[in-house]
Amino acid sequence: MSDSIFALASAPGRGGVQVIRLSGPDAGATLGHLTGRPLPPPRQATLASLREPGSGEVIDKGLVLWFPGPASFTGEDVAELHLHGGRAVLSAVTDALTTLGLRVAEPGEFSRRAFENGKLDLTEAEAIADLVDAETAAQRRQALRQLDGDLGRLYDGWRTRLTRALAHLEADIDFPEEDLPGGLSDAVRPVVEGLAAEIGAHLADNSRGERLRDGISIAILGAPNAGKSSLLNAIARRDVAIVSNTAGTTRDVIEVHLDLGGYPVLLADTAGLREAAEAIEAEGIRRALDRASRADLKLLVFDGSRWPLLDPATLALLDEDALPVLNKADLAAHPAEPVVGGRPALPVSAATGQGLPALLSALGSEVERRYAPSGAPALTRARHRSALEDCRDSLLRALSAPLPELAAEDIRLATRALGRITGRVDVEELLDVIFRDFCIGK
Ligand SMILES: Nc1nc2c(ncn2[C@@H]2O[C@H](COP(=O)(O)OP(=O)(O)OP(=O)(O)O)[C@@H](O)[C@H]2O)c(=O)[nH]1
Ligand SMILES: [K+]
Ligand SMILES: [Mg+2]
């Protein structure tokens, strides 16, 4: 049986209200002790004075709630204290709860207890962390959907189908009716083929869910003095990067977080590309090219005042992930609808702001086109991706296994890989890693 824990569930510091959550077998007795009254009706906010256990002095007056298990967040008896938000109140309540034998919760311990009591699967527990961390609307929607169990249901559905196929296969092994040339019977093979294809499609989703969770990376690239840092500052509406007319001003990669129509974006300014004279600038250019190769999208900035001259090092980066931009449109040396490397380029001016709304909307629709949620729930974590890759590899091995016994072992491995995602099998060693990332009180 677990011990009883408590933690501040709201953000620490001064505020109108702070919420302290208690969970475990002593939650009810502790609430009774603090209020000096019988437990209030379940799930109803009741005004009460909380008193220090020794002196009986009133600590604070507030609302208390009582959630008897198992119909509670953790599945255990839970109580909530909604008190005035401040340090002195928190420290007095902490002393009182500790005196009464409760312990301060570890990070993520409430969610972990909810998982262990079958209230949440692992994908739902992870969704709580994502929802709390969500900074944009699209992130919030994705986390909420996962919290509703969409992802867990998808994976559990696959696992059920595999378990059935395995039962079929084991019957084929025990009571062979025909010689199975490829290891799998006609009843089992299409199921395994179908699942391998579905999982393959889920994996090949352009990492939509992971991008939405972690942020979409956009790199600004171009020749020295093309106006990359000016453009970063104009888009961020802040003076983030140093701008000067000295070529080679920027060396380090400079990042800003943006909310682009609900999508989280990490926009990076980089060193101007050229055959560098000295070591520090050369290192900056190496970092710029490294960033270019890892970015989801590239904003290629050309100096429009030099039209029709186009920097060859920047042109070399033009591919389907690149959006060409002609900066310094205020100097108006280029045509109204310029074409760069066979592609229409957007004229902008970081100096006057001209063309910026069009650039932001072009970037926004490109992000939307690539990362908008599709009908199916999205894969959101590297942990899920690697388990799904293991699963699909095992299924592909099963399809080419020469003997039914070998195919059965591969399908068993595939089933376990799926079970690891939702926490249905051997995840003990994973739990510490997953819940450690939570903050205290969740
Ligand atoms: N007229 C005009 N000048 C600009 C514009 N954008 C940038 N500049 C000027 O161009 C010069 C270089 O701008 P930066 O933003 O430092 O250029 P950069 O591409 O970051 O340069 P490096 O960091 O050296 O690679 C500065 O003097 C800017 O004021 C623009 O749209 N119009
Ligand atoms: K510069
Ligand atoms: Mg710069």
- Interface ipTM: 0.99
Residues 314 and 235 in one domain: yes
Q: Alpha helix locations (H) across 135-178?
A: 137-147, 150-174
Residues with Cβ within 8 Å of 388's Cβ and at least 6 positions away in sequence, in order, are 199, 202, 203, 379, 417, 418, 421
Q: How many CA atoms lie within 13 A of 79 on its CB side?
A: 27
* Domain boundary residue, one of 355, 371, 387: 371
Do residues 316 and 239 touch, judged by C-beta distance below 8 A? no
Q: Write the CATH number for 88.
A: 3.30.1360.120
Residues 254 and 270 in one domain: yes
Annotated binding-site positions: 21, 80, 119, 225-230, 244-250, 269-272, 327-330, 442
> Is residue 117 in a domain?
no
Residue located nearest, by CA, to atom 30 of ligand 1: 328
C-alpha 296 – ligand 1 centre gap (Å): 24
Annotated binding-site positions for (6S)-5-formyl-5,6,7,8-tetrahydrofolate: 21, 80, 119, 442
Residue 129: pLDDT over 60? yes
Number of structural domains the chain divides into: 3
- The average pLDDT across 4-15 equals 93
CB of 225 shorter than 6 A to ligand 1: yes
Q: What is the pLDDT of residues 331-362, one digit of tens each?
A: 977 888 999 999 999 999 999 999 999 999 99
Residues 194 and 225 in one domain: no
Annotated binding-site positions for Mg(2+): 229, 250
pLDDT band at 429 (very low <50, low <70, confident <90, very high): low
Closest ligand 1 atom to Cα of 248: 24
Q: Write the CATH number for 342.
A: 3.40.50.300
CB of 28 shorter than 6 A to ligand 1: no
Query: Which residues span the domain enclosing 358?
Result: 211-371
pTM of the model: 0.80
CB of 228 shorter than 6 A to ligand 1: yes
Residues 21 and 158 in one domain: no
What pLDDT is stored for residue 181 in this prediction?
Answer: 56
Task: Name the residue of 220, 221, 225, 249 whose CB sits within 8 Å of the most ligand 1 atoms, as the mutation to test its pocket.
Answer: 225
Distance CA 150, CA 162 (A): 19
pLDDT band at 182 (very low <50, low <70, confident <90, very high): low
Q: Give how far the C-alpha of residue 280 lies from the chain's centroid of Cα atoms, to the nearest Å.
A: 35
C-alpha 226 – ligand 2 centre gap (Å): 8
Distance CA 212, CA 205 (A): 12
Residues 314 and 237 in one domain: yes
The mean of the pLDDT values for the chain is: 92
Q: Write the CATH number for 411.
A: 1.20.120.430
What pLDDT is stored for residue 409 in this prediction?
Answer: 93
Residue located nearest, by CA, to atom 2 of ligand 1: 328
C-alpha 281 – ligand 3 centre gap (Å): 12
Residues with Cβ within 8 Å of 441's Cβ and at least 6 positions away in sequence, in order, are 7, 8, 9, 10, 21, 105, 110
Q: What is the pLDDT of residues 27-64, one digit of tens each?
A: 999 999 999 999 999 999 999 999 999 999 999 999 99
